[in-house]
Amino acid sequence: MNIQLIITLAVMALMIAGFLSGKFKLGLVAMTASTALCLTGVLTFNEAYISFSDKNVVMIAGMFILSGALSKTSLVPRMKEMMTQHSGKGQLIVFAYMLASVVMIQFSMPTALISMFLPFMAAFDENGKVQPSHLLFPGAVLAHCVQGLLPGAYFVMINGLLEANGAPELLGPLDYSKVILIPAILAFAYIVLIGWKHLPAHTMASMELKGGEKKAVLTDVQEKIVYLLFGLNFAGILFQSYLPFPMHILPIIAVIFLTYLKILDLNDIKNFINLDTIFMLAGVIPLGTAMQKTGAGAVVSDCIMGLLGGNPSPMVMLFAFYGAGALLTQFMSNTATQQVFVPLAIVTAIAQGLDPRPFTMAIFAGCTAAMLTPTGSPSIAIAFGAGQYKIKDILKVFLPLWFLYGIAVCLSANFFFPMV
């Protein structure tokens, strides 16, 4: 085991400890980790800090500002009035939000989805039964759990890996959908009926104006401009495949227009950006790079396979591969985790005379179960920072779902694709 690998694992452990302690700002902990990886030579300077230009970091910074612009309009007071009128219907509000997440994630990506919902969080009354913290993280988790219910990118990616690694059979268009249907329903029911109620009530971090400042009143024309730009931004995210440029630049374009039109000023921009979330997101991304670069992910994989012994049963193998992917994805990107475990699972399954398809689908589902740490994915990090959560709150609510979802995925994969 080389020194850089040891350093990476140590930095990861210390970063998790820093998050768990609750004594430090999340952005400070994450940036300390990326700086340590740079100082020790695990990452180059560019690798450690290039995440400040990462598309997700740029997009969420723009969305924080655009959310702030929307909060200056009369739409937010009107929505607050409506929410107050329905304040006793907390369960219905949560159900509607989660249902919208399930539908929209089939045509979008988790980061884009969270970005679209952020501006509406200012509409929640501070004394209402439902707060942004009841929706943001649960919505992000649910979006991950239900990705792929409609045939699309997941079906193509899984078949590509199966074919590249010598699998004798590929998936049909609805195979992944039917495997995750029951786990997705389970996740939806858990979050809507149980999960959200046990999270602390917090407003959204970026909506808290500093120094008790009052928001300027916009004219009717200025409000219509804000609505137009927000609507165009929303439509662009939904129909990103038709754009001639990356969707992540859309909020920045809107902010530039709003600043030139004097609807926003530099003080607004400074106040509306939640820097702790930005620094946290920019700081955790390099850890995934270090995990891949040093082979730390492969070491975790080898340890898990070593624990299985010489001749494990097919179901034990399935649960082990799922668990390894679902655990490692808390600290690495889901794509990187898939690349570590899927080829290994396919080769292992074929060598044992087993169908590799349930293994591949279970790992894909496991790698989307990033719900225990803010390092799991950009969308989870954004929701974590904006909702002002603590790690202990997340673990208390979502660790049971993490186990239940995993059991449901593995049983479902074996039901539709029996291994024996």
Residue 138, pLDDT score: 92
- If you write DSSP's letter for every residue of 311-343 in order, what string do you get? S--HHHHHHHHHHHHHHHTTTS-HHHHHHHHHH
- Residues 233-237 have a mean pLDDT of 79
Residue 415 has pLDDT above 90, yes or no: yes
DSSP code per residue over 170-230: ---TTHHHHHHHHHHHHHHHHHHHTGGGGS-----GGG--GGGPPPPPPPHHHHHHHHHHH
Q: Contact at 8 Å (CB) between 86 and 93?
A: yes
Neighbours of 10 (CB within 10 A): 12
- pLDDT tens digit sequence for 60-104: 788 788 877 877 887 766 766 665 566 567 788 888 889 888 887
Rounded distance, CA 96 to CA 100, Å? 6
Average pLDDT in the 241-251 region?
A: 84
Q: From the centroid of its chain, how far is CA 272? A: 21
pLDDT in tens, 253-269: 999 999 999 999 888 88
Of the ranges 43-47, 74-78, 304-308, the best mean pLDDT one = 43-47
Identify the pLDDT of residue 210: 44
Q: Which comes out higher in pLDDT, residue 323 or 86?
A: 323
Cα 356 off chain centre by: 27
Integer angstrom CA distances of residue 176 from 119, 148, 154, 164, 356: 33, 7, 8, 18, 13
What integer pLDDT is reported at residue 297 of this predicted model?
Answer: 62
pLDDT of residue 213: 45
Tokens of 286: 């390099």
The pLDDT-based confidence of 121 (bands split at 50, 70, 90) is confident
List for the chain the helix, strand, coil content (%; round to 5): 75, 0, 25
The predicted pLDDT at position 209 comes to: 41
**pLDDT digit string (tens) for 149-207?**
876 666 777 887 788 677 888 888 888 889 999 999 999 999 999 999 899 887 776 54
If you average pLDDT over residues 333-362, what whole number do you get?
Answer: 79
Band the pLDDT of 211: cuts 50, 70, 90. Answer: very low
Hey, what are 96's tokens? Answer: 């509607």
Please tell me the predicted confidence (pLDDT) of residue 405: 96
Q: What is the pLDDT of residues 94-107, one digit of tens each?
A: 888 898 888 878 76
Residue 343 has pLDDT above 80, yes or no: no
Percentage of the chain surpassing pLDDT 70?
A: 85
- Band of the pLDDT at 38, cuts 50, 70, 90? very high
- Provide the Cα torsion 197, 198, 202, 204; round to 10°: -70
Q: Are 382 and 205 in contact (CB under 8 A)?
A: no
Dihedral angle at the C-alpha atoms of 267, 83, 237, 384, nearest 10 degrees?
70
pLDDT of residue 397: 93
- 8 Å CB contact between 198 and 190: no
φ and ψ at 88, to 5 degrees?
-80, -5
> Quick one: pLDDT at residue 216?
53
The whole-angstrom separation of Cα 295 and Cα 281 is: 22
Tokens of 240: 């990103």
Higher pLDDT, 166 or 321: 321
pLDDT, residue 302, reads 66
Q: What is the pLDDT of residue 20?
A: 65
Nearest C-alpha neighbor of 96 from the set 184, 188, 16, 175:
188
Region 265-286: what's the mean pLDDT? 84
Domain residue extents for the chain: 54-420
What is the predicted pLDDT for the residue at 225?
A: 93
- Indicate if the pLDDT at residue 404 is higher than 90: yes
